Amino acid sequence: MRRIVPALLMLALLMLMLAGCGERAADPVAAPQASPPPTSPPAASVSVPRRPSVTVSTDAGDEAGLNWTPPALVLTREQVRQARRDAAAAVRAGDLFEGPRDAIPLYLALLRLDPEDRLAQRGLARAASALLAQGERALAAAEDDSQALARAVRIAAVLRTVLPDDTRTQAYLARLDLAEQLARLNATGESQLRQGLLGEGDAPGALDSFRSALELAPGQSRARQGLAATESAFIRRAEDAARAGDFEGAARWMGFASQVRADAPTVKDAYARIEQERARQIAALRDAGVAELATPLGLKSAREKLAAALRIAAPGDPVVADLRQRIDLATHYGLFRPGQAFTDALAGGGRTPTMVVVPHGGFRMGADEDEPGATQAEQPAHYVRFDRGFAVSRHPVTVGEFRRFVQATGHRARATRRGHSMVYDERSGNFVRRSGVDWQSGYAGARVGDDMPVLHVSVRDAEAYADWLAEQTGHGYRLPSEAEFEYVLRAGTQGRYPWGNENPPPKGVANLAGGNDVSPSGRRWANAFVGYGDGWWGPAPVGTFRPNPWGLYDLGGNVSEWVTDCWHANFRRAPADGAAWFNPGCRARVVRGGAWASSPQQARAAWRSSQDSDVTSARVGFRVVRGI
């Protein structure tokens, strides 16, 4: 009988080893169903192993980590009772398999001593159930804890040994296999993230790894965190590109980020930050461009700033439009604006006459052949273009303004040196030469106030005044060219007269020879605008009549004015850029604009007259132009 028992024991051990070495089922695709709650299995389901080889994955590289060899422990029959007590205490303490005095090694040793030991079989079943519970807890923590996953693997090896055919073991192994796959995918994705392999486009990377994990376990927090980290990496690249001024690249990276998680608020916030960065860079370029415009040679640099802003701005960006407008204005007006009025300080004290910036542009200069009253001297009509604006004095230079010049320089005007000038004689109704008349005199020879337009000055006197302003201010003051004068006189209109084609003129438009005007002695004009009266016989104080559309006074009436040009009999070969047509040494100069004694023929916008450069009279004054 004693010989039969060892034989039976060896046979039982051999059967258990063969059962433990059986191949496991194929890996499940989806997460397995939850296992039933642990219960004590029937004693017959517990087998006694002998150095089994356990595999819970098809990956042969994992095999070494999934084998469990029970600790070597040999008991004598005298030790059985104490071993049972120790095993039960180990179960209660949760010490199940890792040491030789843990529960499962003790129960296995007892069963090797007596395979029919019912108490050991029941104890082994209780220990196995406790181990399964430990495995479930390890699996629950395995998502974020590699050590917990490793413990779950060790527990799986033990369970395959002690409960090889239990459905709970099979379900546990399936969950373990899923956990291992998720761990590998998540670890791969995290490694790819560290390497910067994000998975944009068709490139392999972290995005695919985390998505694969979520296909196996939808909602798994580690994979979701990995997706969020991948999204953040895309966003960082987008923001880095934006800070480098590469907004096309930023848009590309944000496109990848927006595909990671649908409607993620982080993506929306990142888009807002990138647009803020775009706005910041555009504003900085605008500010730098504006600063460049304040320097003498900054226009080229400002245009480069504009080009850089255009490269990163969305169409219609208002800040870019502002910079473009400022550059356009600087191109044509320097630091000024069309319509702007200003004065310059004189080095000796006081200010220049008020200057008004007129817009750049073009116009048709002269008279058409079919214009009533036109002469060949006003033809051919031709197009003149001003690529840059300029400033014109708001009204003719006054007696007071000229007085400051004379007092500052001691200049002796032509009429002063000569002792006479041409004035209007009330008794004869004609213009006559009268002694004692100079720039302080009015149209009839009497002294006038400082607000009257200065008369009785030659073109050389006018040029001397402009030169003095230039010296005092450091800016380019001069007489206007003939083209400039007609350009500002027309002020964007193209009629026969400065105000259009109306005859008589609108009321209050200019001081001209009107049929309703009466001299102090009751004289009337023989050739006048019928039905028109302006209330003045002789010049009026500057600015009495309403300004033209560009804010300039007295261009179409009050006094005629000297311009820079030498007289030419017609406009053939005249400059097309508005420059003065001047020949050094010429004596015949041009007078433009209607005056208080001008007939309808002389009040036309194209009218021009030739005067000797030394002539002074009661009808001709001047105004100045300044370059900007």
Q: At 62, is the pLDDT very low, low, confident or very high (cuts 50, 70, 90)?
A: very low
Do 16 and 95 fall within a single domain?
A: yes
Domain extent at residue 239 = 196-262
Residue type, position 132, single letter: L
pLDDT for 304 equals 96
Q: By percentage, how much of the chain surpasses pLDDT 90?
A: 83
Judge whether residue 59 has pLDDT over 60. no
Do 172 and 201 fall within a single domain?
A: no
Judge whether residue 48 has pLDDT over 70. no
Judge whether residue 52 has pLDDT over 60. no
Do 250 and 389 fall within a single domain?
A: no
pLDDT for 71 equals 85
Q: Is residue 617 a contact partner of residue 461, using CB atoms and an 8 Å limit?
A: no
| Residue 338 located in a structural domain | no
Q: How far is CA 563 from CA 485, 512, 609, in A?
A: 7, 20, 11
pLDDT for 65 equals 52
Q: Is residue 41 a contact partner of residue 130, using CB atoms and an 8 Å limit?
A: no
Do 101 and 200 fall within a single domain?
A: no
Judge whether residue 56 has pLDDT over 60. no
Do 497 and 597 fall within a single domain?
A: yes
Chain mean position to CA 537: 61
Give per-residue pLDDT as tens, 399-423.
Answer: 999 999 999 999 999 999 999 999 9
pLDDT for 40 equals 39
Judge whether residue 41 has pLDDT over 60. no
| Residue 416 located in a structural domain | no
Give per-residue pLDDT as tens, 280-328.
Answer: 999 999 999 999 988 888 999 999 999 999 999 999 999 999 999 999 9
| Residue 346 located in a structural domain | no
Q: Is residue 620 a contact partner of residue 421, using CB atoms and an 8 Å limit?
A: no
Residue the block writes with tokens 């200057």: 355
Do 211 and 167 fall within a single domain?
A: no
Boundary (domain end) residue, out of 218, 236, 262: 262
**How far is the C-alpha of 308 from the C-alpha of 295, rounded, in Å?**
19
SS3 563: strand
- The two structure tokens encoding residue 232: 């953040």
Q: How far is CA 156 from CA 103, 105, 389, 519, in A?
A: 16, 15, 90, 126
Do 206 and 179 fall within a single domain?
A: no
| Residue 439 located in a structural domain | no
Do 172 and 214 fall within a single domain?
A: no
| Residue 363 located in a structural domain | yes
Boundary (domain end) residue, out of 262, 286, 310: 262
| Residue 28 located in a structural domain | yes
Task: Work out the mean pLDDT of the chain and round it to a whole number.
Answer: 89
Judge whether residue 9 has pLDDT over 70. no
Do 367 and 511 fall within a single domain?
A: yes
- The two structure tokens encoding residue 69: 């060899």
pLDDT for 45 equals 41
pLDDT for 142 equals 87
| Residue 79 located in a structural domain | yes
Chain mean position to CA 410: 58
Boundary (domain end) residue, out of 154, 186, 218: 186
With CA atoms as reference, report the closest residue to 109 among 61, 75, 145. 75
Q: How far apart are the first and last CA of the chain?
A: 128
**Mean of the pLDDT values across residues 344-373?**
96
Judge whether residue 39 has pLDDT over 70. no
| Residue 177 located in a structural domain | yes
Q: Is residue 129 a contact partner of residue 94, using CB atoms and an 8 Å limit?
A: no
pLDDT for 136 equals 94
Do 16 and 156 fall within a single domain?
A: yes
CATH number of domain containing 573? 3.90.1580.10
Chain mean position to CA 177: 53
Judge whether residue 44 has pLDDT over 80. no
pLDDT for 297 equals 85
Give per-residue pLDDT as tens, 230-282.
Answer: 999 999 999 999 999 999 999 999 999 999 988 889 999 999 999 999 999 99
Judge whether residue 19 has pLDDT over 90. no
Q: CB within 8 A of 89, min separation 6: which ones?
A: none
**How far is the C-alpha of 312 from the C-alpha of 323, rounded, in Å?**
14
Judge whether residue 453 has pLDDT over 90. yes
Q: Tally the domains of the chain.
A: 4
Do 227 and 289 fall within a single domain?
A: no
Do 45 and 172 fall within a single domain?
A: yes
Give per-residue pLDDT as tens, 76-124.
Answer: 999 999 999 999 999 999 999 999 999 999 999 999 999 999 999 999 9
Q: At 57, is the pLDDT very low, low, confident or very high (cuts 50, 70, 90)?
A: very low
**How many Cα neighbours within 13 Å face the side chain of 227?**
21
**Could you check whether the bond before residue 498 is cis, i.e. omega within 30 degrees of 0?**
no
